[in-house]
Amino acid sequence: MSVLHNRVSNKELKEKLYQENFPRTTISFYQYFLIPHPAAFRDAMYQQLNALQVFGRIYIASEGVNAQISVPTHLFEKFKSYLYSIPELNQIRLNVAVNDNGKSFWVLRIKVREKIVADGIDDPTFSMENKGKYVNAQQMNELLELPETVVIDMRNHYEFEVGHFEKAIEIPSDTFREQLPMAADMMKDKKDANIIMYCTGGIRCEKASAYMLHQGFKNVFHLEGGVIHYANKIKEAGLESKFKGKNFVFDDRLGEKITEDVIAKCHQCGSPCDTHTNCKNDGCHLLFIQCSSCAEKFAGCCTQACTDIVHLPIEKQIELRKGIDKGQQIFNKSKQRLRPRLGKDL
């Protein structure tokens, strides 16, 4: 029987990744299309990508595919040939990482989910077939020059905090499912305005644009390929970046520098900083922004209490965190969680 799941520990996999003697290319892609049998689609894709030594995170649902992966550079063309052999994915746009050290992922995980983007939409009349118009990098810059243009950031607060477009409006919510109705309500008096929505790689803002049209908005656009594609295209064309700061990404890099602007602050001392890190206490794993000075002072931890714990013997640390699973905290960055833990006005 073919292997359809990873059976090796994360520690071993990470060690193997750093021992590789070939480069990797980090990419992301998505596509909304009907998949009648997601589990079978998932298993077939796992077999093909595992054989090509692809690492990363892929979600499959009846509504489509959402992937963030790294591919051995010397096998990239074989990977594309396989991907493009799937009719619905033929010639799909591949967003290549802006700053890539090739160490973004160390294992392949493909999961079947109810949706590739959890949106909270239960209206049976909603359809992704009616979505906003794409704008490319040059069009984005031109529209941003118009005073009447409304720009909505469909990412979470921790992503907005380290980088965003000029004039962008933050939707103050911790989840995409909360953002959708909130965005529609915040813009209810601008149903005839030009509204541009953007996100990291395009998948959230594409669905958001369809949702806004479903809610009666008239002129809705979304940035093609999100911030990642925009950053690559302005570099190719020699255009000014209207996105300032860092683009948060959901892998081990935790961010890509788009411009040298540092618009965020260390959550512990308040000095200019845009470096996200996970608390080194395995019983915490809170993700927050920490400068190098505070990283040294707190041993990479979010509080003195966590610092005290990481200085304990490993056996004692394991005993203290028995029954506590903090694995998901790596990408759990709710503002409400950060405030009580760090004691800052975030």
Enzyme catalytic residues: 199
For residue 169, the Cα-to-chain-centroid distance in whole angstroms is 18
Helices then strands, counting H and E runs in the chain, come out as 12, 15
Question: Is the Cβ–Cβ distance between 270 and 343 less than 8 Å?
Answer: no
**For residue 119, how far is the Cα from the chain centroid?**
15
Q: Using alpha carbons only, give the angle 131, 147, 183 rounded to the nearest 5 degrees.
A: 40
Check if the beta carbon of residue 321 is closer than 8 Å to that of residue 314: no
Look-up of token digits 């995170």 = 57
Helix (H) or strand (E) holding 195: strand 194-198
What is the rounded CA–CA span in Å between residue 170 and residue 151?
Answer: 9
Contact 166, 242 (CB under 8 A): yes
Cα distance between residue 52 and residue 75, in whole Å: 7
Distance CA 165, CA 202 (A): 15
Among 156, 117, 210, CA closest to 338: 156
Q: How many CB atoms lie within 10 A of CB 161?
A: 23
In three-state secondary structure terms, 297 is helix
Q: Between the CA of residue 330 and those of 98, 147, 254, 282, 316, what are the distances in Å?
A: 22, 38, 10, 10, 22
Q: Are strands 163-165 and 150-153 parallel, antiparallel or unpaired?
A: unpaired
CA distance 227 to 44: 30
Two structure tokens written together for 322: 């028995």
